[in-house]
Structures are given as structure tokens and as C-alpha cells.
């Protein structure tokens, strides 16, 4: 094991684990978007009890963060253009421009859970039950997304982790996002409220809960199998999150595509330092741990 928590595998084993696939990415994305298309159609048709569908719609929509995340790593697909196109589409739906997010996320991987270095630690985590509820509500993250997006259009709030040569690209991307939002709502504002805005607000707490589990109270040390948590969960949850519940494995070797993480887990399982059986159990422990 190294300080990065990577197991000792042969060159052939590593090579096999690092193989990306357009087919695997396309099939997984098609399943995700297919379910989203079904719920969207039923909501727009206003079938009986259609408001109940806003919850699954919101969960499916907000967890497009998973293919966004994979595409930012360029591991969702073999082709760069496929990764970039999916990252733009999902990022646009989630108010998270992928060029900026890629640099943010690279810094997160480089300095995972290290104080004053990991940009994710700048996002305040809850210290009380009230703060926990506010955090899960999604209000702080939506406010931050709007503030950042507007700032980026003017070259502000970009972050030290974005190199100078890329700052104009970040600003231009934000302007494109805003222009497309204006056009989309001018053409179909009422429909988008029903299948996009309201569901995203409803679904965000589920994504906040999922992301909080990744590094919550993990040691602030360089070992990726200690500073990151792997959470054991259901097959449906693994599908929805593109296997990101194997998060320590992902941090141990970020170039491994989502569909290879279960295999990599079999190699890393004996070495994992922080694991949890189920998200509900983790959040119950978090809640009980507050004063």
C-alpha cells in the first residue's frame, strides 16, 4: 500500500481496471435518462396523482450529478467528446458549469480532506441539528451555485484552483449557461418548472445526504483509503449513483471508470479504513452525534 492507499496490483490488473467504454457509459446513461423521460412525460400529462412523481423525478434529476462527475473525470465514456457533451448537459441542468467544476474537483482529489487545501472543505458542514437540516435543505448550495455562476460571467469567484489560462473559458461557459437558461424559460417556462425546477428543489436534499457521507469526520490525512468513506448500499442506489458509493476506491485511483469500481473494491476491501453499512445508518449516527 502507498500513502495514496493503492493496493499492489500487477500491471495487467491495473490496465484492465483502467479501460473505459463508450458502450457501458451509453447504456448506463440511457437507463438513467430513460427513467427521467418516463417520469417527465407522466408529470407533463398530469396523470392522476402526478404530484407524487415529483419526488422520483427530483431524485433522478439531481443524481445526474453522478454522470456529470464521471464525465468530468472523463471516465464515463472512452471518447472525450462524449464526456464533454454529457458534462455540459448535466452541468447545465444542475447549475454546475463543468469546466469550472473540473478544476474544483481536481483540487479536491489532489488535497482530499486536507484543511486549507481541499476546496470542498470551504463548503461549511453542519455542527448542530439546525445546521444539519439547513444543509440538507439544499438552500445553501443553490445560493452558492447562483452566486458563483453570476460571478463567473464577470470573471469573479472563479477560485485559485483555476489556472489563469482557463479563466476566460470559465467565464464564457457561465455566459453560455445563462443565455441557454433565458432561452429555455422563454420557450417553455411553465413546463420546465414542473419537470426541472420544482423536482430539483425536492431532490437536492437526497444528493446533499449522499455527498455528506463521502468524507464526514474522516481523518484529515493523505491516505485515500482513510480520508474517504465507502458506504455499502443497495444495488439500486449503486446504479443511481454510478457506483460512487465506492468512494474510497474512487479516490484511491480516480482514473478507474464507474463500471470497474465494484471489481476494484474486491482488491481494496481488506484495506478500507472507513466504511459504513447504509446511508440511513450513517445519518442516524450523525443526528445522534450532535449536541
The domain in which residue 107 lies consists of 13-289
| pLDDT value for 201 | 98
* 3-state DSSP assignment of residue 165: helix
Count the domains in the chain: 1
Confidence of residue 185 (pLDDT cuts 50, 70, 90): very high
**Residue spans of beta strands (DSSP E) within 141-238:** 230-232
Q: Which of 126, 108, 138 is nearest to 228 (CA)?
A: 108
Angstrom distances, CA of residue 195 to CA of 57, 85, 98, 141:
7, 21, 22, 20
Residue 4 has pLDDT above 80, yes or no: no
Length of the chain in terms of residues written: 291
Residue 223 forms part of a structural domain: yes
**Predicted TM-score of the model (pTM):** 0.95
Confidence of residue 1 (pLDDT cuts 50, 70, 90): very low
Measure the CA dihedral 232/73/117/211, to 10°: -30
Average pLDDT over residues 152-173: 94
> C-alpha angle with apex 240: 234 to 245, nearest 5 degrees?
60
* 3-state DSSP assignment of residue 95: coil
Report the percent of the chain where pLDDT is more than 90. 93
Residue 3 has pLDDT above 70, yes or no: no
**Rounded Cα distance, 187 and 171, in Å:** 25
Residue 4 forms part of a structural domain: no
pLDDT in tens, 16-30: 999 999 999 999 999
**Rounded Cα distance, 103 and 182, in Å:** 26
**Rounded Cα distance, 204 and 124, in Å:** 16
Phi and psi at 243, nearest 5°, equal 65, 20
Q: Which of 211, 178, 186 is nearest to 65 (CA)?
A: 211
Average pLDDT over residues 60-65: 99
Residue 92 has pLDDT above 80, yes or no: yes
Residue 1 forms part of a structural domain: no
Question: Across the chain, what does the average pLDDT equal?
Answer: 95
Angstrom distances, CA of residue 237 to CA of 60, 72, 207, 231:
11, 21, 12, 11
**Rounded Cα distance, 65 and 60, in Å:** 10
Q: Which of 78, 16, 3, 21 is nearest to 251 (CA)?
A: 3
| pLDDT value for 6 | 61
Average pLDDT over residues 230-243: 98
| pLDDT value for 288 | 96
Residue 146 forms part of a structural domain: yes
Residue 18 forms part of a structural domain: yes
pLDDT in tens, 65-85: 999 999 999 999 999 999 999
Residue 43 has pLDDT above 90, yes or no: yes
Residue 266 forms part of a structural domain: yes
CB neighbourhood size of 56 (10 A): 18
Amino acid at each position: 500500500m502507498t500513502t495514496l492507499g493503492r493496493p499492489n496490483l500487477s500491471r495487467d490488473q491495473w490496465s484492465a481496471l483502467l479501460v473505459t467504454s463508450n458502450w457501458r457509459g451509453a447504456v448506463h446513461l440511457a437507463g438513467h435518462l430513460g427513467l427521467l423521460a418516463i417520469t417527465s412525460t407522466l408529470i407533463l400529462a398530469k396523470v392522476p396523482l402526478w404530484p407524487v412523481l415529483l419526488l422520483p423525478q427530483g431524485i433522478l434529476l439531481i443524481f445526474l450529478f453522478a454522470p456529470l462527475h464521471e464525465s468530468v473525470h472523463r471516465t464515463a465514456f472512452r471518447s472525450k467528446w462524449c464526456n464533454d457533451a454529457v458534462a455540459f448537459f448535466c452541468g447545465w441542468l444542475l447549475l454546475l458549469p463543468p469546466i469550472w467544476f473540473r478544476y474544483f474537483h481536481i483540487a479536491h482529489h489532489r488535497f482530499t480532506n486536507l484543511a486549507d487545501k481541499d476546496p470542498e472543505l470551504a463548503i461549511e458542514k453542519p455542527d448542530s441539528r439546525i445546521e444539519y437540516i439547513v444543509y440538507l435543505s439544499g438552500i445553501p448550495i443553490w445560493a452558492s451555485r447562483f452566486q458563483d455562476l453570476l460571478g463567473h460571467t464577470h470573471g469573479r469567484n472563479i477560485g485559485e484552483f483555476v489556472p489563469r489560462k482557463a479563466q476566460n473559458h470559465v467565464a464564457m461557459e457561465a455566459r453560455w449557461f445563462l443565455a441557454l437558461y433565458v432561452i429555455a424559460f422563454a420557450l417553455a417556462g411553465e413546463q420546465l418548472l414542473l419537470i426541472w425546477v420544482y423536482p430539483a428543489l425536492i431532490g437536492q436534499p437526497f444528493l446533499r445526504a449522499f455527498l455528506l457521507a463521502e468524507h464526514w469526520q474522516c481523518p484529515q490525512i493523505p491516505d485515500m483509503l482513510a480520508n474517504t468513506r465507502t458506504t455499502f448500499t443497495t444495488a439500486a442506489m449503486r446504479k443511481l449513483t454510478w457506483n460512487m458509493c465506492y468512494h474510497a476506491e474512487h479516490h484511491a485511483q480516480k482514473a478507474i471508470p464507474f463500471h470497474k469500481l465494484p471489481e476494484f473494491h474486491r482488491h481494496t476491501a481488506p484495506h478500507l479504513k472507513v466504511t459504513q453499512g447504509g446511508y440511513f445508518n450513517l445519518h442516524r449516527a450523525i443526528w445522534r452525534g450532535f449536541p
